[in-house]
Copies of this chain bind each other. A is one copy, B any other.
């Protein structure tokens, strides 16, 4: 008899809850042992992983998936090697569980320690490349959280093979097997059921398109760590160094156009627009970037597509960028407040006052001065691997690594103190 999906959600969640409690007490040594052994096992399992991946690739090609997406789905020995490397790197990071966040002694002699603890059970719903499966599992275990994985159906066999390797070493390291579970049942009802179970799931992380995130946010009865749009701006202030500006803008737009911290919109100060815009547009066009410009931009440079209102809200995730001439820093910040998504904004300037004002007033997860928006990334900011870049302000903002997957408790050591 086939199990009902409601029952299945209950079963998966209850197993995760039980595993989380045991995992929260696992030593750093156990967790690191598992990470290092899994880093060795992954390359050894290359053949099986690639066979599973071949099944996914064949189905996807049959279903008419485009070549860029097929490439994202494809695994090869080099990609499997870099997953293993990621595991080794996570083993080297400080264990966030039990870390002392602060320690003070109160006037009455009480010792108050704030120490890191896991959140519990994380439900991770993602549409990304299969390497995310390995990163998410590793980050969860190291941060002491049980994780329930729900990957995209196009990557199901690849994910099953990868999770098989992840799970194979858990028992040996003294970590409960159900600390990592993959939902392989395609029924979406299981997801909906789990989203109502705030008794079994402590946090849900949807990572994928806007529709997925909106649906999860609507249905979830537990906190949601969201990864919304990155409509990232670069503002070229009057004192910007032009050579630097061109390098940063090309990097921010072109180094990897399909990611959330790529630049999507340029703002150029009117004072320097006649001098700057023709060069900037030329440099971008030489990289194959389409420019959607405001009226002034169109007058100053050739080959610019006239922008419509919607262009300034767009997250292109492609070699397209909007460009607007602004009156000064205030109009730039107004524009960002209106059209931005609070992800990553940069100012290019040699004026320290302008930099100060911009970093103080712009309310985004990362505000850059004279650096590429592409630096808003866990690895680049020193957090190590990340499970994503949060666009929320509550709990964790920007890149989310190990610490962001934890909570804390107060441990209070007394000698008989009572309250007056």
Contacts and interface: CB of A to CB of B under 8 A. Distances in A.
Given A104-B382, A202-B394, A409-B363, A248 B418 contact: yes
Contacts of A374: 418-419
Interface residues of A, number: 65
Interface stretch (A291-299, A309-317, A364-372): A364-372
A116 to B, nearest CB: 11
Nearest to A372: B418
A59 B104 CA distance: 46
B248 A394 contact: no
A394 B395 contact: yes
A25 B361 contact: yes
A89 to B, nearest CB: 15
A382 B106 contact: yes
B112 A418 contact: no
Nearest to A412: B368
Contact of A410 (B248, B361, B366, B392): B366
Given A248-B416, A393-B119, A25 B360 contact: yes
18 contacts: A25-B361, A112-B381, A117-B393, A250-B418, A251-B418, A251-B419, A255-B419, A359-B411, A366-B412, A368-B412, A370-B413, A371-B416, A371-B417, A372-B419, A374-B418, A375-B412, A375-B417, A376-B410
Interface of A: 21, 24-25, 98, 104, 106, 110, 112, 117, 119-120, 202-203, 217-218, 221, 223, 241, 244, 247-248, 250-252, 255, 337, 355, 359-361, 363-372, 374-376, 380-382, 392-395, 397-398, 407-419
